[in-house]
A and B are shown apart, each in its own frame.
Chain A
Amino acid sequence: MGTTDKTGNQRALSGGTGWRRSLMTLAASVMLASGANAAPATSEVNTTGLAVTDDTVTVGILHSLTGTMAISETGSVQAEKLAIEQINAQGGVLGRQIKIIQEDGASDWPTFAEKSHKLLERDKVATVFGCWTSASRKAVLPVFEKDNGLLYYPTFYEGLEESHNVFYTGQEATQQILAGLNWAHDKLGAKTFYLVGSDYIWPRTSMKIARKHIENVLHGKVVGEEYYPLGSTQFGSLINKIKLKKPDLVFGAVVGGSNVAWFKQLNAAGLTFKKQPMLTISVTEDEVLGIGGENVEGLYSSMKYFQSLDLPGNKEFVDAFKKKYGEDAVIGDVTESAYLGPWLWKRAVEAAGSFDVDKVVAASPDMEWDNSPHGYLKVDKNHHLWMRTRIGQWKADGQADVVWESDVIKPNPFPEGYQ
């Protein structure tokens, strides 16, 4: 036990320092390595019977391509494929080209479970990039834990979960919410808050955390808290209530088609964001595409990533994404998280010198990445990422101005005093 810990740590450290160099040098060294035919023998790097051959390794992508969730998951699939393509162009992982088996979860949670069964047991994939909703993740979790698979999950979510078999590359709730509320309190002087969300687990958990933070830490007041059924398209009464209560800030987590209706109607009711400041945790560039920039002008979003981020890692990422998917392609926060997955896995595999899930998992904590598209990040022992939170203000052209950013925040999926 003691020795494994030690070697595990050493691997992780060397992985970390190697990564602090830029991606370009990293690419060069990998290409050199593969050019020199230094790929280690398959029997060494794969002791658990995964789909690894002398020159390929097979991974799975599991997202909804059909059904209601396809709207959200398309960007994630695009980002994962782009990352894998780039990794392959640089020589692959441990000298092996990545092959993809893509399955359609069809927006149906039992289908997600069934497909993950297939990917892990029949295809023996080395890792899976996938899932979007918490419901789909909860559905596949028992399968991944039973078969000891590996999942990279891209969406910001409500937290309250930590698994040996899952890496969460999006924000857990406190990373997104607390910093955003602090900012609104300090910079906008917000003391009264109105909480609005769609009626399911993510908004409800998020609002619970928000309420505790507002009442206990910021000593502000929650003047209203409301949930609307998923798919609601009529918000007239809610808008009137907000007009009556005049909160300093509306804090929103409305999702899906409702989101579009919500903002169109807010705007049409004369409740522009100049008159009524609003901060949301559910609007990224993807959503703005459907809502229309003119309807969200002035709205604030709390995210880790915006397409307009002026960082070297982001420039490369945006250029590559547009080159592959067209000039009009937009990149939202979750799309960027999905892009991180294959890179984090590649680094962990190379640090571990093996595709074995347990070794990859052991090598992951404390890995750092200075120039990811959203800047510095670090993998925590709890399988979530250290990252900054940013406040972006939307413009009519569908892009955001970043008006504030936090320090790097430690992920805390089980926040004490917030449950």
Chain B
Amino acid sequence: MGGYTGEELTAIFLMQGFSGLSLFCVFLLMALGLAIIFGQMGVINMAHGEFLTLGAYITYLVSYVASDVWPFLLDYYFPVAIILAFVGTFILGYLVERFLIRFLYNRPLDTLLATWGLGLIMQQIFRSTFGPREKSVVMPDWLMGSYQATDMVDIPLNGLLVVGITIVLTIAVFFLLYRSRWGIKVRATTQNRMMANAAGINTERVDRLTFALGCGIAGVAGAAFTTIASTGPTTGSLYIVDTFLVVVFGGAASLLGTVASAFGIAQAQSILSFFLSGSMAKVITLMTVVGILMFRPQGLFASKVRR
């Protein structure tokens, strides 16, 4: 790295660190919902990306109302959008479990096809409703631009927001799963459905809420991603491969595994794309993940699930 001053290199190092951190948060945010659905319930939900898109569109609608109907609300709409995105996708997830998924437990291949079809249907509904073109979500002023730490170091504000949301959501999910009564029921159902049933847990209800919660989290992720990326009918499908990758690599049914794998993949990709190029970074990351999974098919953190 000849020809650069120490100050420049430090600044780049810091910003590169932040860009790795924000990539980690993006991965974790999109994987959290799936970690619950796929990890805890073993349901392969191919429509996960479309729930994310729905969250993004709900954010768009709220921003549209805020900017065109009540402009004085523009600065404050974002928290409202996040809550509505969660509620909307939660309800849809609940209905999908009630009327589709629950008939397909123990039939993983059928679930895969059914949810993939559901994803296609949702995509086309978005396309017919909102039009095929991408929508641009109007950002409040406080989310635009960057925080200038020094002359050289710029920290993007929207990146900070995504980091913030990720931290809050991860802690919330952790508490829900490992520190609440509902979490105990979920884990009991995951580990041994029959025994859980016998112990008086309404496992059907647990399933429904778990699935809905996973979808709701996808909705929040979608809302958060409107600040850094596009909002269109196929937005969700941009994330779905990476999402499964993170969850599978981390090991199903392990929240810690998901966090660790999101961190590993994000750092690898971020650093590699700095020293090589975007495409090469992707190739090398994928090959490494495949390589590790060949020797450790259960993922980084082995699960204690009895299947």
* Chain A residues with a Cβ under 8 A of chain B: 65-66, 68, 70-71, 74, 199, 226-229, 231-241, 243-244, 257-261, 264-265, 267-271, 286, 289-292, 294-295
Contacts and interface: CB of A to CB of B under 8 A. Distances in A.
B136 A291 contact: yes
Contact of A268 (B8, B12, B145): B145
A239 B22 CA distance: 13
B155 to A, nearest CB: 9
A229 B284 CA distance: 13
A232 B280 CA distance: 13
B278 A229 contact: yes
Contacts of B18: 236
B278 A70 contact: no
A196 to B, nearest CB: 9
A227 B18 CA distance: 22
B232 interface: yes
A268 B227 CA distance: 10
B278 A232 contact: yes
A226 B144 contact: no
Contacts, number: 141
A240 B230 contact: no
A324 to B, nearest CB: 16
A289 B156 contact: no
A351 B232 CA distance: 44
Contact of A270 (B8, B154, B225, B230): B154
Q: Is the interface of A mostly helix, strand, loop or mixed?
A: helix
Interface of B: 4, 8, 12, 15-16, 18-20, 22-23, 26, 124, 127, 131-139, 144-146, 148, 154, 156-159, 225, 227-235, 237-239, 269-271, 273-274, 277-279, 281-282
Given A70-B127, A240-B12, A240-B19, A257 B134 contact: yes
6 contacts: A71-B133, A236-B18, A243-B12, A264-B227, A270-B156, A290-B134
A179 to B, nearest CB: 28
A58 B18 CA distance: 58
Nearest to B157: A268
A290 B138 CA distance: 11
Given A257-B230, A267-B145, 17 more contacts: A70-B127, A70-B132, A71-B232, A227-B277, A229-B282, A233-B26, A233-B225, A233-B238, A258-B230, A260-B134, A261-B228, A265-B156, A268-B146, A268-B157, A268-B159, A269-B154, A271-B154
